Amino acid sequence: MSMIQVDIEEERKEILKRYRRLLRQAKPILKPGDAKIIKKAFNVSLEAHKDMRRKSGEPYIYHPLEVALVCVEEIGLGTTSIVAALLHDVVEDTYWELEDIEREFGHKVMTIIDGLTKIAGVFEYGSSQQAENFRKMLLTLSDDVRVILIKIADRLNNMRTLGSMPRHKQLKIASETMYLYAPLAHRLGLYAIKSELEDLYLKFTDTTTYKAIVHKINESKSYRNKFIRQFIQPIEEELNRQGFKFSIKGRPKSVYSIYNKMKKQNIPFEEVYDLFAVRIILESELENEKADCWQVYSIVTDFYRPNPDRLRDWISTPRSNGYESLHTTVMSNLGQWVEVQIRTRRMDEIAERGYAAHWKYKEKDAPGKTTSGLDEWITQVRSMLESNEGNAIEFMDDFRGNLFQEEVFVFTPKGDLKVLAFGSTALDFAFEIHTEVGARCIGAKVNQKLVPITHKLKNGDQVEILTSNKQKPSEDWLNHVVTSRAKAKIKDALREEKKSAIVDGREIVQRKLKQMKMEFSSETVEKLRAYFELKTANDFYYKVGKGIIDPTTIKSFKDFRENQKLKHKAIQEKVRDESTFTKEIKSLKGPDHDQLLIGEDMDVVDYILAKCCNPIPGDDVFGFVTVNEGIKIHRTSCPNALELLSNHGNRVIKARWTSQKEIAFLAGLHIVGTDRVGLINDVTKVISSELKVNMRSITVDSDAGIFEGTIKLYVHSTEHLETLVKNLKEVEGIIKVTRFD
C-alpha cells in the first residue's frame, strides 16, 4: 500500500511544479488579483479531474496545465485564457455546468468554455457532423478568437502526447490536425506552432521518413553551425560598425518543410538547398523600421549575391495574417544558397506569436490606422458563415482554401487598393466590389485593355468591371474564381436556380419508383445516388430534374440491385463503421481479432484495394468502410487519406497484411538515367531474371541523352519492391529510381 502513497506524493510534487512554472511564465502579464483567480481555477480543475488519468497513465490535470502553459508561453495570451484553459474540460467531464463557471469565474470565461465545449471531443457521426463541428468552432472564432487559440493549444498538447494512443486514433487525430489545425495556426500567424503540428503529423504518420530526416539534420549540425558562424561574421561586423542593435539566429527549416521539398521536387535530403535560414532581428523605432530593414538588406547583399527571383518584401505590404518581414536568398562563399530574413523585434514577435502579439501592438499603433488583414479576415469568415446554407463539407473546403493564401494587390478605377487571393480573376474582383456587380459581370478592362471574366489578375493591375443586365451566373463560373466570397455568392445564385430543378426531379423519381413498385425511401435514394455515382441525393434529383439523367434509366438500376443483392454477403449489411466492424470480426474470428487481416479474411469480409494509391503488402495501411462499396484498403500516405481520416474517422478500421508471398500486386517505378546502348536491356534483365517479377508495361522516353521511363510491374511486398529498386540503381547509367502510385 505504502508504495502507491509514495507515487501519489511524487505526483503531487510534480503537479505543483508544473503549476508554479505556469505562474512564473504568466508573471509579467498578471494584474493585481489575477493570481488568485488562476489559483481558484487550478483548484477547481484539480478537484474535478482528481480521479482521472490520461491514456499514458499520467494524472489528467497535467493536460489542462500544459494547455494553459502553451497559451502563455507560446501564444502569449492572458489571464482569461489561462483560466479558460485550466477549466476547458471541466464542464465536459464533470457535474460542473456552464452556469457554475459563470457564477465563479464570470461571463467572459463562460463564453470561451462554451465555445470550447461545442467543439470538444471526437466527432463520431460521419463526415458532415464533423464539418458541422468545425463550422461551430469557426462561429465561435468570430465571437472570440481566444476560443480557437486555446483549441490550438489543446490540440498541440494532444499531438505531443499522441504516442500513448492506439494506432488508428493516432492516424485520425494527426490527419485532422493537418487538415484543419495546422492551416488555422498558420492563418493566425502562429508559425512556431504550425511547424510543430506539421512535424508531429509526420512523426506519427510516416515515422521512418521523419526519423531519417531528423537524423540527417542532427548529423549535419556541427557543420551547419560552423557554416552559419562564418556566414554571419562579416554581416555582424558591418552592422556593429553602423551602430545597429540586433540579434542574429540561424535555424534549420522544420522537418516537415524539408520533407515537403523532397516530395514536391522529388529530390533526396542532400539536394534540398535552403536547409536553413538566418534571421536578423533589429531593435528599431516604428517610424524607422522600413528604412532600417532595407539598410540591412543592402549590407547583406554587399557581401553575398542575392537571387533576384527570391526577394520577398512583406514590409511594404504585409501578408494578410499580419506577417511582416523581408526575405532574400543569397549565395554564400561556399556555393550554398541561404535564406536571410530581416525584421524588427516587433515584426518577429508578430511572426512567432501571431494574433496575440497583434493585439499587443494594436493599442500602440496610431489611432485611425487601418485595421489589419487579420481583422478583415475574421470579418470575412463571419460573413462566409452567415451566408452559408450549403453543405458543411463544401464550406470546410472553401474555408481551408482560404487559410493558405498568398495574395495579389490590385486597384479600382479610382485607385483604391483591393487585396485578393493569389490567382484571383476579374470575376473575383467583381464580386469583391459587390454581389450584384459580380452576378452581372461580362468582362473587364484591365489597365485599359478588354479581357474576359476568366482573366487572372497580377499585382498592380487596375481593374474596371463591365456588366450587363442579361448576364447570370453559371455552374462553370466556379472554376474561374478562387476567393471564397465569390464562390459563396455564385453558389447562392446557383442554389436558387437549383432548388426548383431539385423539386421537379424529386417528383419524377417518386413517380418512377411507384411505377416500378419500389419504395421511395432515403435508403433507395441513397442507393440510386451511388448507382449514378453522384455525391448527394440532391445532385441526383437535380440531374433528373434538368433531364441530364433520363428517368427510364432508373429501371436499369432495379435490375442491377437484384443482382447485387445475391452477391452481397450478410456481414456487409451489418458493417457500417469501425465499432460494428470490430464487433462482427470478433464474433466471427474470436475475441482477439480487432483488425482486418488483408489476404486471409477474404472469406469473412469483402474488401478491395483502393485504386487511388494501389497499396502493396508491407505498406502502412488502414481500412475504410465506404457507404456502398464495402471496405477499401488505403495507404496511410494516400493522397485521399488526410480527408478520409479527418472527416470520417469513425469509419477507419485497423488493417494489416498477413505474411503471404503468393499474391502479386501492381506497383509503378519511375526511372531516370543517362541514355546508352543496351540500357533498356539491362533494366529488363534485372527485373525479369533476378526476382521473377512480371512486368506489365514499360514506357521509355529519351531526350538529348537523358533517359526517362516508367515501369509497371507485379511484386509481392514493399520489401520485394525495395530490393528491386536497389538492384536497378546499380545498373550503369541509372541516376534515380522512385516509386509512384
Q: What is the DSSP code string of 56-106?
A: TSSBTTHHHHHHHHHHHHTS---HHHHHHHHHTTHHHHSS--HHHHHHHH-
Q: Which residues contact 647 (CB under 8 A, 6 or more apart)?
A: 127, 130, 131, 179, 393, 396
Spatial separation of the C-alpha atoms in residues 651 and 588, rounded to whole Å: 19
Name, in order, each residue with C-beta under 8 angstroms of 421's C-beta and a sequence gap of 6 or more: 402, 405, 406, 407, 408, 428, 482, 483
Buried b (16+ CB within 10 A) or exposed e, 35-64: eebbeebbebbbebbeeeebeeeebbbbbb
Q: What angle do CA 252, 202, 713 make, to 5 degrees?
A: 115
Smallest Cα–Cα separation from 175: which of 620, 741, 648? 648
Q: From CA 266, how far away is CA 619, in angstroms rounded?
A: 19
Identify whether residues 548 and 633 lie together within a single domain: no
What CA–CA distance (Å, rounded) separates 636 from 622? 6
- pLDDT at residue 129 in the model: 55
Count CB atoms within 10 A of the CB of residue 428.
Answer: 27
Interior/surface letters 151-161, b for 16+ CB within 10 angstroms, e for the rest: bbbbbbbbbeb
| Cell matching residue 389 | 446554407
Catalytic residues: 92-93
Distance CA 644, CA 652 (A): 8
- Give the closest residue to 700 by CA, choosing from 678, 740, 672: 672
Q: Which three cell numbers stand for residue 254?
A: 522544420
Q: Which of 334, 353, 372 is the last residue of a domain?
A: 353
| CATH at 675 | 3.30.70.260
Q: 711: which strand partners?
A: 669, 698
Q: Strand runs (DSSP E) across 314-433, as ranges?
A: 326-331, 337-344, 407-411, 417-421
- Helix ranges restricted to H, 435-576: 435-439, 484-515, 522-531, 537-545, 554-567, 570-574
One domain, residues 559 and 579? no
Quick check: 233 and 225 in contact, CB under 8 A? no
Helix ranges (H only) for 404-483 are 426-433, 435-439
- Among 490, 511, 535, the domain-final residue is 490
Cα–Cα distance, 318 to 314 (Å, whole number)? 5
Q: Are the beta carbons of 427 and 480 closer than 8 angstroms? A: yes
Domain containing residue 482: CATH number:
3.10.20.30
Please state, in angstroms and rounded to a whole number, the distance separating the CA atoms of residues 589 and 591: 7
**For the domain that residue 346 is a member of, what is the CATH number?**
3.30.460.10
Q: What does the pLDDT read at residue 603?
A: 53
Q: Is 224 found in the same domain as 298?
A: yes
pLDDT in tens, 118-168: 655 444 434 455 556 666 666 665 567 788 888 889 999 999 999 988 888
363 occurs within a structural domain: no
Tell me how many helices (H) and strands (E) the chain has.
Answer: 32, 20
Same domain, 40 and 180: yes
Q: Distance between CA 541 and CA 469 in Å, rounded?
A: 30
Residue 549 lies in a domain: yes
Instruction: Say yes or no: 695 and 669 in one domain.
Output: yes
Specify the length of the chain in residues.
Answer: 741
SS3 label, residue 441: strand
Segments in the chain below pLDDT 50: 1-4, 6, 121-127, 363-370, 567-568
Residues 559 and 575 in one domain: no
Residue-number span of the structural domain to which 414 is assigned: 382-490
Whether residues 115 and 148 fall in one domain: yes
DSSP class of 131: H
**What is the domain-level CATH number for residue 120?**
1.10.3210.10
Cα radius of gyration (the chain):
29
Position 395 in a domain: yes
Whether the Cβ atoms of residue 602 and residue 553 lie closer than 8 Å to each other? no
Indicate whether 117 belongs to any domain. Answer: yes
- Same structural domain, 594 and 642: yes
Q: Is residue 644 part of a domain?
A: yes
Number of structural domains in the chain: 6
* Per-residue confidence (pLDDT) for residue 511, from 0 to 100: 87
Cell numbers describing residue 698: 514499360
Query: Could you read off the pLDDT of 329-360 as tens digits, one per residue?
Result: 999 888 888 889 999 998 888 877 765 565 55
Q: Are residues 58 and 160 in the same domain?
A: yes
The helix-helix angle for 98-105 and 34-48 (nearest 10°) equals 150
**Chain segment 601-621, per-residue pLDDT in tens:** 555 567 788 888 888 887 888
Give the Cα-Cα-Cα angle 672, 673, 679 (nearest 5 degrees): 115
DSSP result, 153-181: HHHHHHHHTGGGS-HHHHHHHHHHIIIII
Give the C-alpha separation, 628 to 626, whole Å: 6
669 plus 619 within the same structural domain: no
Q: Is position 302 within any domain?
A: yes
Contacts of 627 (CB under 8 A, 6+ apart): 526, 530
Residues 67 and 130 in one domain: yes
Q: Where does a domain end: 567, 593, 628? A: 567
Is residue 2 in some structural domain? no
Nearest 10 degrees: Cα torsion 644, 645, 651, 654: 120
Quick check: is 361 in a domain? no
Q: Which residues contact 570 (CB under 8 A, 6 or more apart)?
A: none
Same domain, 332 and 402: no
